[in-house]
Amino acid sequence: MNPYIQQCVIRRQKVLQRIGQDGIAVLWSASEKQRSGDTCYPYRQDSDFYYLSGFDEPESVLVLDGASGETTLFCREKDPEREIWDGFRYGVLDAKSIFRMDHTLAIQDFPNKIESLLKNHCTLWLLGSDATPQKTDIQKRWFDLRSSVSADIQPLQCADLREIVHAMRMIKDEVELNLLRQAAQISALGHCAAMQKTRVGKWEYQIEGDILSVFYQHNARSVAYNSIVAGGKNACVLHYVHNQSILRDGDLLMIDAGAEYAAYAGDISRTFPVNGRFSPAQKDVYEVVLSVNQKIIEQAKAGITYESLSQSAIELLTQGLIDLKLLSGSLKDLIEQKAYRRFYMHGIGHWLGLDVHDVGPRFVDGKPMVLQEDMCMTVEPGLYIPDDVDIPTELRGMGIRIEDNIIIHKNHVEVYTQEAPKTIADIEQLMS
């Protein structure tokens, strides 16, 4: 059996145990999104749906029945006419055997069958609750469901399935860790190609194309998020994806790009000089960010809190800003005043998995989340120096981020994005 599908079976069993005899969980696949007339964006399955099924077709519903302990997948039937236009679909028979479902039924039967499935369950588990930001979507789905069943058999209460599934998703199994490593390896190859192909006078989107080409050659058909290819002061725009400026001599190029491999995300940032050699001023700022990246990775380990890493990054970056003479005053006062926010305005990292900003809280019951074995996260310090008159000319508009991906193991931390060079010597050597 495909190891991912095998894990999905185990995951469903865990969810079924958690929702108990009284519970029933219903998950909808992601819908296709239209791009323009008769054209859709490439399809991406909903991450929670995929985590429990491995099934990547739209128009599907997954039902986990706590009473019987069985799962039913509603999916599209085989349809030779539609398959001429839209291509392959598994159909009900193959979906059952390949995805190891207890039952599969045609999606058009969902409105009829849901009544009997809901019968005798007190709690309906859905991905979301009335109190969450996904309110509208969840309410619509709950409403659709409710309107299709008779009032007397409706479950008494609704519960949020994300509490169960997202806690599970934070701790990666071995199959997931290997997919994450592959996504990162492909992402690193893309960054190496970018360093080798960057030349003064090329356009940012041409380098983006070089990265994409590597992703595709290595069987990653999608990016995990829109690539940021930001020359010069574009790097100070945190979510820059315009990628349409020319690369200039003397500027840095900041690239934040990650491949999605088998639905798992890589998320790497590297910053390097367009002309292949760091200037003295660029070296000074780069070394500050690099040393924070390395120190935070050294500090990360099972048992400490995510919050302590965030705080430590703030302290190290603030000290770096003092050393660079971009801030003056006592370290303590500058931190209290959040003076660093002018130059460092995002967090030190995030969980990584099926989503690039993966699910999972930073605080549980008001207490900071403790790093645990088999969690996966990014470490991504950055400095973004505004193009303002009070800043020394040689530092104006400089944006540097260095981002790695790490896995927390019991007794060590695995940095699995090392193949993308990050020391000044290694970068200059690769670019020469």
Q: What does the binding site for ligand GLY look like in residue numbers (CB under 6 A)? A: 225, 256, 267, 350, 356, 380, 403
Cβ of residue 267: shortest distance to ligand GLY, in angstroms? Answer: 5
DSSP string, 85-127: HH----HHHHHHHHTT-SEEEEGGGHHHHHHHHHTT-SEEEES
Location of structure tokens 């598994």: 90
Cβ of residue 256: shortest distance to ligand GLY, in angstroms? Answer: 5
- Sole binder of Mn ion in the list 256, 355, 358, 404 (CB under 5 A): 256
Exposed (0-12), middle (13-18) or buried (19+): which is 137, by Cβ within 10 Å?
A: middle
- DSSP-assigned letter for residue 32: P
SS3 (DSSP) at 212: helix
Q: Which does 225 bind (CB under 5 to 8 A by kind): Mn ion, ligand GLY, none?
A: ligand GLY
Q: Which does 179 bind (CB under 5 to 8 A by kind): ligand GLY, Mn ion, none?
A: none
Cβ of residue 346: shortest distance to ligand GLY, in angstroms? Answer: 7
Q: Which does 252 bind (CB under 5 to 8 A by kind): Mn ion, ligand GLY, none?
A: none
Nearer to ligand GLY, 101 or 229 (CB): 229
Nearer to ligand GLY, 164 or 356 (CB): 356
Nearer to Mn ion, 260 or 267 (CB): 267
Cβ of residue 102: shortest distance to ligand GLY, in angstroms? Answer: 38
Interior CA angle at 415 toward 414 and 420, to 5°?
A: 155
Cα separation, 395 vs 397, in Å, equals 6
Cβ of residue 395: shortest distance to Mn ion, in angstroms? Answer: 23
Partnered with residue 264 across adjacent β-strands are 261
Q: Which does 260 bind (CB under 5 to 8 A by kind): Mn ion, ligand GLY, none?
A: none
Report the DSSP pairing between strands 61-65 and 70-75.
Answer: antiparallel
Cβ of residue 152: shortest distance to ligand GLY, in angstroms? Answer: 48
Partnered with residue 225 across adjacent β-strands are none
The footprint of Mn ion on this chain (CB under 5 A) covers a number of residues equal to 5
Assigned token pair, 181: 């490593």
Q: Which does 160 bind (CB under 5 to 8 A by kind): Mn ion, ligand GLY, none?
A: none
Nearer to ligand GLY, 48 or 256 (CB): 256
Residues 6+ apart with CB under 8 A from 372: 170, 171, 302, 408
SS3 (DSSP) at 336: helix
Nearer to ligand GLY, 162 or 350 (CB): 350
- 57 forms part of the interface with Mn ion (CB under 5 A): no
Using CB positions, name the residue nearest to ligand GLY.
256
- CA 321 from chain centre, in angstroms, equals 29
- Sole binder of Mn ion in the list 267, 355, 358, 404 (CB under 5 A): 267
Assigned token pair, 324: 């660079």
Q: Which of residues 359-418 bind Mn ion (CB under 5 A)?
A: 378, 403
Region of residue 247 (phi > 0: left; psi between -120 and 50: alpha; otherwise: beta): beta
Cα separation, 125 vs 86, in Å, equals 32
Nearer to Mn ion, 124 or 420 (CB): 420
Active site residues: 38, 239, 256, 267, 346, 350, 357, 380, 384, 401, 403
Residues in contact with Mn ion by CB under 5 A are 256, 267, 269, 378, 403
